[in-house]
Amino acid sequence: MSQQAYPHHMLREIHEQPEAIRQTLKREGANIAELAGVFRERRPRMVILAARGTSDNAGTYLRYIVGAVNGMTVASAAPSLLTAYHSNMNIEDAVVIGISQSGKATDVIEVLETSRRLGATTVALTNTADSPIVNAVEFPLLTHAKTEKAVAATKTYTTALAVLYQLAACWDEREDLQEDLLQVPEVMEKLLSDVEPLIAARAERYTFMQICTVLARGLNYGTAMEVGLKLQECCLFNPEAWSAADYMHGPIAALQPGDPVILLAPRDPSLKSMLEVGQEVKQRQGELIVFSDDDEALELARVPIKLPDMQGAYWSPIVMAVAGQLFAYYVAVNKGLNPDKAGGLRKVTLTY
């Protein structure tokens, strides 16, 4: 698709993601490796995350990738403890990572500044080199996604996931994982060339969708929340995103026949439980939309979306995110909405 062919900034930015990943890994690789060395030297006992919105969904991925690769506990910061209650928390031997696309998230910056004063190792992940968050921390990392004009974040999310994956891989000195990440842009390009037309065609069925559930487990849980957020921002209704395991502990009781349920079900260690949830949803006559590279999962679907083979890799949430972004984009277009102007939101939201 040529530059002139994009009807919206969001679609152009979705298509810019493979190159954004390449540039991020190329330009930030040395900084990631240096920070990983600092982590090995300082031996932190835990990681604390501060983020909002899409950045918080990237942080959920951090929780799983660092747990899976490094065996580390990641806890979400409660910013109000530092910003409102002024608690002097015992975090000297912790790493505090703040994620903000714009680098202007005021409460995240305050968490980082206070954490640095309290002796923690502080890291910022942002897309903007001259933003306030960079000056608040000891170690800044950049996503190199260039300017993002659509309000709904796309390439800043996937590049953030790529940096967090690479940080975990370098921290554990896993050269196999580091090399494996290099194939992600090619897989994304295959999705954009081969699968996007299918997503665009299938999205029309959901023009009048007003409810939806998005399910995943493990590494893809953050991306399930991100897909739900994209549907909220672009399509102006309130889907619910759940861990598939949590969904079975109550929320499934509210499922009505015909209700759309999106399953993010790659062929990875979470697949068995995703199949079980999918079978239960189907038995209750929910309408399954399945994004997967696994034939058994796709067979459950009313609307199957077959993705390129992701080989059970820890980077599958990056590719899943692109598929979910496209689905949200095309549903919005079919609803007659402008996905670039998501519900009157601004690109930078300041919270205190």
Q: Using a pLDDT cut of 70, give the percent of the chain over it.
A: 95
Paired strand residues for 99: 51, 125
Give the C-alpha separation, 169 to 162, whole Å: 11
Mean pLDDT of the chain, nearest integer = 94
Distance CA 169, CA 161 (A): 12
Q: Tell me the two tokens of residue 242.
A: 């759940």
pLDDT-derived band at 346, boundaries 50, 70, 90:
low
Residue 60 clears pLDDT 70, i.e. is over it? yes
- The CB-based long-range contact list for 33-42 (8 Å cut-off, 24+ gap) reads 33/170, 35/123, 35/139, 35/141, 35/167, 35/170, 36/167, 36/170, 36/171, 36/173, 38/121, 38/139, 39/95, 39/121, 39/171, 40/171, 40/173, 42/93, 42/95, 42/121
Mean pLDDT, residues 162-176: 98
pLDDT in tens, 212-236: 999 999 999 999 999 999 999 999 9
Question: For residue 264, which of 216, 208, 195, 223 has the smallest C-alpha distance?
Answer: 216
pLDDT digits (tens, 9 = 90+) for 240-298: 999 999 999 999 999 999 999 999 999 999 999 999 999 999 999 999 999 999 999 99
pLDDT exceeds 80 at position 144: yes
Q: Where are the beta strands (DSSP E) in the chain?
A: 46-51, 74-76, 94-100, 121-126, 139-142, 213-216, 240-243, 260-264, 287-292, 303-306
DSSP letter at 194 equals I
All domains of the chain, ordered by start, with CATH?
A: 3-182 (3.40.50.10490), 185-339 (3.40.50.10490)
3-12, 18-27, 281-290, range with the lowest pLDDT = 3-12
- Please give the pLDDT value at position 344: 62
pLDDT at 350: 47
Active-site residue among 146, 282, 335, 347? 347
Give residue 4's pLDDT: 57
Predicted confidence (pLDDT) per residue in 198-208, tens digit = 999 999 999 99
pLDDT at residue 245, as a whole number = 95
Mean predicted confidence (pLDDT) in 145-165: 96
Greatest alpha-carbon span in the chain = 55
pLDDT one-digit tens code per residue, 241-255: 999 999 999 999 999
CA distance 38 to 97: 14
Told to judge if 190 belongs to the known catalytic residues of this protein, a careful annotator would answer no
pLDDT, tens digit (0-9, with 9 covering 90-100), for 318-334: 999 999 999 999 999 99
Residue 153 has pLDDT above 70, yes or no: yes
Report residue 78's pLDDT band, with 50, 70 and 90 as the boundaries: confident
High-pLDDT (> 90) share of the chain, %: 89
Band of residue 84 on the pLDDT scale cut at 50, 70, 90: confident
d(CA 157, CA 216): 17
